[in-house]
Structures are given as C-alpha cells and as structure tokens.
Amino acid sequence: MSDNHADLIVLGAGPGGYACAFRAADLGRNVVMVDPRATLGGVCLNVGCIPSKALLHAAEVIREARDGDNWGISTGKVSVDLNKLRAKKDSIVEQLTTGLVGLAKRRKVQTIRGTAQFTGDKSLDIDGEAWTFDQAVIAVASAPVRLPGWPEDDRIWDSTDVLEMREVPKKLAIVGGGIIGLEMATVYAALGSKVTVIEFMDQIAPGADNDAVAILNAALEAEGVTIHTNTKVTEVKATKAALTLSCEGGFEGKIKADVAIQAVGRRSNGHLVAPEAAGIEIDDRGVIPVNASCRANVDGIFAIGDVTGNPMLAHRATHQGHVAAEVASGHAAALDTTLIPSVAYTSPELAWAGLTQAQAKQQGVTHKVASFPWAASGRNLVSGGGDGLTKLVYCPETQRLLGATIVGRNAGELLAECVLAMEMGATLEDVSLAVHAHPTLSETVGFTAERALGTLTDL
Amino acid sequence: MSDIIAPPSVRALARQKGIDLEKLAKDLGRTSIAREDLEGGKPAAGPVGDTSYWDVDHSQFGPVTEEPMSRFAQVAAANLGAANALIPQVTHHDRADVTAIEALRGELKLDAQARGVKLTALAFQAKALARALREFPRFNASLSPDGKTLTLKNYVHIGIAVDTAHGLMVPVVRDVDQKGLWQIAAEISDLASRAQNRKVGPDEMGGASMTITNLGGIGGIGFTPIVNPPEVAILGITRTETVTLWDGDTPRPVTMVPLDLSYDHRVINGADAARFVSYLAGLIADPRRIMV
C-alpha cells in the first residue's frame, strides 16, 4: 500500500461530489475529495447554476425598473455597470465556495486540488502522485458540447464564457433553445443585446409542455428576442466585422452577430478519469452507466451526477451523492424516483416534473389534463406578472397526479408542491382540499386541481 | 413510475428492511402502502377489541425470557387472525373406515419398497378428497373478498399443511384428480421434505382447491382447523383408531380415521357439508369407488 491511501475518495467537488463527501464523512468515513478547480463547488457554483442565477436576478431588476412606469414609478433610463455586476456575481460565488471549505473542514474531509485518473481498480494518479483507495466515487460532471466545423474565434462563447460578461454584444446569436440558451437570452436581452435564438427542434425548451412553452416564447419575443425553431445552422463564417451564421429549415438565410453562443447541450466527462484503467464501463457519449444505487460495473466504484448521463441537473447529482455515500457505507439506498424537476429561470420561469401531456399521449398512459390561466390569478396581477399557466396531468381513474408544468413568475418554487404531491401519491382532491393561502401564486395549483374536479369558483 | 403508491420515506424504509413493495402490495390486495404495513404483525382487518389487558409484565410473576416473532410468523399470525375474524366457520366431524385402504397398503408394501415410495394413507385421503371435490363443485370454489362473486374452479389442487421448524407451510399438489396414487404419494413426500428446508418455490404454493391438515401421526381424536382463504373449506385428520361398531347386537372392531371439515358458512350450508363428508368417508371406506 502506498502512503497515500483513501478510505473513500470522491473525484469532483461539485454539488454531487461534495454532497457525497460530506454525507460519507457524517457516516463516519475518512473522505478525500479531489477537484482540479481552485475553489470547491464544481460547475454549479463556479460556472453554472449560481452565477447564472445572479445574472438572471440582475436581468429581473432591470426589467422591473423599466416596467415601473406602468405603476407610476420612474427611475429614468437604467444603466448597467458591467464591472460592478460581474464583481457582485463573483462575490456571491466566492461566499458560497468559501462556505464549502468551512463545511469540508468541519467534517475533516481532506480536499486536494488536482486531476485524478485511475491506474487500477483500487489506485489513482493525482497529478503524478500515486494513491490507493478502498472505494471511489466519480463525480466529474460534464462540459459544454462544441459544435464541429465552427471556426476558432473569441466571439464564439460557450455557457462558461457567457458568465464572464466580457461585454454586452449588440447582436447576439444563441444556437440552442434549451434551458441554458433561453436563460442566456433572458440575461442579454435585458442587458440590451438584440438576441436571436436558433433551435433545431420544433419548439424552444424541447421536452416541455407546448402550451407552457408558447407563453414563454411569446414573452421572449415581447422582450425583443427573435426565435427560429426547426432551424439548423449549416455554416459559421468569421470576418473582422461580424460572425455570419447560415441557417436552413424554419429560417432560411444568414444571421449576422457580434457574438454567438453555443448552447446545444453538455457532454459527460467520464473519459477524463481514465476509467478503462480500472475496467469501468463507459459509453461513447462519455457516460459512466450506474444502477439506482449509483454503482458502476466495478465493485467499490460509484458514479454520480452529470457523468452518469441525463438529466444533467445539480439536484439529481446531490441526491445521487447521498445515495452513493450511504451505499458505500453499507446502507441500503437508491435513487428510486423519476421525478427530477426541470426549471428554466427565464422570465417567466418554466418548470415541470413528471409526465407532460405529450409524453403521456406518446407513452399511451391514460390521462387527463387540467390547467389554470394566470390571467385569473390576483396575486399574479398585483405583482406585475405577465401571462402564466399551471397545468396538471392526472390519471382519471385514480385522480393521482402524473405530471405538472408551471410557467410564470416563481414557477420553479411553485413546482415543489407538485413534486411532493406526486411523491406522496396525492390525488386531485388532496391538492384541492389542502388550504392554499390567498392571494398567492401557489393557489393556482389548488385551482387547477379544483378545475379538474369541477369545484372551481375562480373561473 | 411504479403503480404502487408509497411515500419516499416508506420506500426508503422498505429498502432498508429488504421488503419488496410490489409483492407486499399484491399480498395486501392494495395499490398504496403505508409505514404501518412495513411494521407487520397486525391483522390486516377484523373487529377491533381492547387488547390492553394482554399487555402484562409477566416477569412480575416469575422468571421469563423473550424471543421475537419472525416476520414469517407475524405474517402467518395476521392472516390467521383475519381468516378467523372475517369468515363464519363451522366444523363438521365424522369418521371413515380405513380397513380396505390399510389392507391395500399392506398388499402393496413390496411394490412400494421397489418403487422407493411410501404409499401413505394421506395419499389415499388426498385422492378421495379430489374425487369428492369433482362431485361437489361448491367446495372447490372461492368467494371474492367483497362477497359478490363465487369462482368455481375447473381443476383440483390439494394443499398439504406441513409443520416445519420455521412455521406452518402449505405446498400444493396440482391436478390430484388426474394423478395416480404413486405419483401423489411421491409428490407429497417431496414437497413436505423440501418445505422443511424452506426450499418450496412460490409457484408451488397457493391456488389450492382445499387444504388437508393431518395430525394423524401425532395424535388427537378431533380438532377445528381454521379455513385457509381464499379456499372455502379445510379437512382436518387425526389419528386412526380401532372403534367398536355394532351390527345389531354384535360388536365389531373397525379401524377408522376421524375427519373434521371446517367450512365457510357463507358458501356452504350444514347439510351440504354433512353430505360432502359422508361421500368422502364412503370413498375412503371403499377406495374402488374413487375409480368408478
């Protein structure tokens, strides 16, 4: 045995990795956590969820200030100091990542800055140092997909570059109308960019409910965002003056942009840890397959988070992290749910979990749908909210919820009630009889259930 | 999503206890599982009574030791409690002359040795019961839990209650009406010995037309077994003995086996039970009649 030995080693300090390391430490394990970044927190804290939500908050503040006129509140022209905004965002990130260092210390989790690669099924190399371990958890996340055939150019950004806020481009093209692309459109449209979103599928936010997406689509267009669906970018040319994107399909023609963002998805980073040296199975998308207990095919090796494939979401990684820590420590645990909520922090927010109407239809699941338009929500109107919709998919026989989609202000927060209801097997009646405070946006969930039951008096 | 509804905390507890929720839900006849269902030991249903006076500190009366009831025993207890509470049961007592069967077993002893099969009285009784069930279809039936439908079975499977170290098990011999005595005897012996080692598969239990619970090898002159639902009757057998019958004024010793049939009175009335057992006793007394 070499001098460097870990009882449990966690590769990656993102929301999956640190959740796993901390949970394992709380279960009495000696834990080592390795990450190449200077700070803990992984993609989520450093270049993902947290900084992007800081910018989205700023975008919301800009819009609120601008819309103040409607309420007789005038602030004059809103100006943005990009350096200050960036510094504010960075300070929040720093506060959170530093907080993690404290949490790790308190649990006596040893953290190492470095890149780990397997050299055997019980050994690793960390930047030239040999390590052995009893158990390992792979939590090395994912990276933005780079489209082939694009030129090398500083004006082509991925989701990480976007958050650096080097400038506010006059004309911004975003290739990919998924959650990340739409959030970036929301931020830069508020900052003053003329944004065009190009999506290959027939709607933005592919996979989300189309009624809800229509509302988000309209809101983005009202903000001046141009959206081209069913459109493929065939060629990108970089000249000194601009980037030119040639498009085919729903939109035929050329789009000139000062900056283009690639937001066409993320690819698992499985290959980064040299999994083959340990005999760990990996597929050609970089995904390390695991079972519900997060075990990879090699005994004593686990994988969690984005490296295990879709959906690549921090909250899934966190839950898997706890599962892996518990299973590795001899407890029976598993991620035994398919209810992983999706949230786009756009304006309005779009959030969903469980089956959408289209999925239920496609899978042949007996279902019915009920919805409540937010134009009838007092709380939405008095807080200056725009159009919104709460929509529930349910089983007509058992009256149990199968899925929920919410578009509107704070949709991401409101979805939590629906997820809990689905996990508990709640029926429409349960949801409608639980008293929702008035006036709140959460009422719309109760109203939707009442509408399905025919007891609604607010429409 | 699974069709079983259980809150996340219940799913986690089931995983820790190694309980298969889908199977449990099926056993309970439900689609939703609550925390209480995983804790076991309580009857699924039945009249509620005050049991607080059972809760006694026995050590105040003398030295005691405690042992936990196994999960197997707890499930059996819950099922027996429910069967006893929910089914109005009557037990009919009779006896059958086994002189002919004993003579036949004696004649076939060498054959049995050659075949390596012990031709037991139980095999004859199972065969006779199968014939009787063909003759009285309402005894080969099950009542739906809501009491609205009687399902009549066009097959004859006989459950054999086996006393094992870990509790009572009931493996089932299939299609007894179509099998010969040698085969029935061999299958009963095989299932009983595997039951002792808990090596009986789930597909070898359940689905019986009626169960036989045989205490003949131990003793007794009669008992009142509890019906094993969804079956509608159970046949108890105790020790064969020689009794005195009177042919007019002349006493005659006859070897007879006691038969105790407990039945679900919702499905079977007393007169039918008497006819059924009388017919069964006739078959046992003259096994040739099983064939004709």
Which architecture, in CATH terms, is B89-291? 2-Layer Sandwich (3.30)
Q: Are B191 and B208 in contact (CB under 8 A)?
A: no
Res B46: pLDDT? 45
Chain A residues touching residue B1 (CB < 8 angstroms): 338, 354, 402
Q: How many CB atoms lie within 10 A of CB A185?
A: 29
Residue-wise pLDDT for A210-261, tens only, equals 999 999 999 999 999 999 999 999 999 999 999 999 999 999 999 999 999 9
Give the tens place of pLDDT for each residue, A169-192: 999 999 999 999 999 999 999 999
pLDDT bracket for residue A24 (50, 70, 90): very high
Alpha-carbon distance B3 to nearest alpha carbon in chain A (angstroms) = 10
CB contact under 8 A, A331 and B1: no
ipTM of the modeled complex: 0.83
Strand pairing class (A194-198; A349-354): unpaired
Q: Which of A411 and B81 is assigned the larger pLDDT?
A: A411
Report the mean per-residue pLDDT for chain A: 96
Indicate whether A393 pLDDT > 70: yes
B88 phi, psi to nearest 5 deg? -75, 110
- CB-nearest to A425 from B5, B16, B18 is B5
Tell me the mean pLDDT in the region B66-90: 89
- What span, in angstroms and rounded, lies between the C-alpha atoms of B165 and A17? 49
The pLDDT of residue A317 is: 98
Residue written as tokens 């149990």?
A400
Cβ neighbours of B120 (radius 10 Å): 19
pLDDT-derived band at B44 (thresholds 50, 70, 90) equals: very low
Task: Tell me whether residues A402 and B7 touch, CB distance under 8 A.
Answer: no
8 Å CB contact between A415 and A335: no
**Residues B161, B211 contacting (CB under 8 angstroms):** yes
Work out the pLDDT band at B48, boundaries 50, 70, 90. Answer: low
Give every CB contact of residue B288 below 8 A, 6+ residues apart in sequence: B100
Picking from B102, B130, B106, the residue whose alpha carbon sits closest to that of residue B208 is B130
Size of interface A-B (CB pairs under 8 A): 23
Comparing CB atoms, the residue among B8, B15, B32 nearest residue A423 is B8
B245-274: average pLDDT? 96
Catalytic annotation, residues of A = 438
Residues A40-60: pLDDT tens digits?
999 999 999 999 999 999 999
In sequence order, what are the beta bridge partners of A408?
Answer: A349
Torsions phi, psi for A21 (to 5 deg): -60, -45
Statement: residue A457 has pLDDT above 50 = yes
Choosing from B58, B92, B166, B265, the catalytic residue is B265
Q: Which domains does chain A have, with CATH numbers?
A: 5-144+267-328 (3.50.50.60), 156-264 (3.50.50.60), 348-453 (3.30.390.30)
Whether residue A400 lies within 8 A of chain B, CB to CB, comes out as yes
Average pLDDT on A283-308 reads 97
For the residues of A284-333, what is the DSSP string, one character each? TTS-----TT-B-SSTTEEE-GGGG-SS--HHHHHHHHHHHHHHHTT---
Give me A385's structure tokens.
């909210």
Tell me how far CA of residue A132 lies from CA of A121, A329, B40, in angstroms. 9, 18, 45
- DSSP one-letter string for B67-120: -PPPHHHHHHHHHHHHHHHHS-EEEEEEEEE-HHHHHHHHHTHHHHHHHT----
For residues A170, A176, A178, A182, the Cα torsion angle rounded to the nearest 10 degrees is 10
- Taking an 8 Å cut-off on Cβ atoms, the answer to whether A336 and B15 are in contact is yes
CB-CB under 8 Å, A332 with B18 = yes
The answer to whether the Cβ–Cβ distance between A333 and B15 falls below 8 Å is yes
Please, what is the angle between helix B270-285 and helix B121-135, to 10°?
130
Run of H or E residues at A83: helix A82-106
Cα–chain-centroid distance for residue A212? 18
Give the per-residue pLDDT at A105. Answer: 96
* Residue B292 confidence class, pLDDT cut points 50, 70, 90: confident
Higher pLDDT, B36 or B123: B123
Own/partner contacts of B272-280, CB < 8 Å, gap of 24 or more, are: B272/B136, B272/B138, B273/B90, B273/B92, B273/B233, B274/B92, B274/B94, B275/B136, B276/B132, B276/B136, B276/B139, B277/B92, B277/B94, B278/B94, B279/B132, B279/B135, B279/B136, B280/B96, B280/B128, B280/B129, B280/B132, B280/B235
**Closest CA in chain B for residue A339:** B1
A356 token code pair: 């959408």
Per-residue CA distances from A445 to A195, A413, A430, A437 (Å): 33, 12, 11, 11
The continuous run of DSSP H or E covering A21 comes out as helix A15-26
| Residue A56: closest CA among A344, A315, A341, A346 | A346
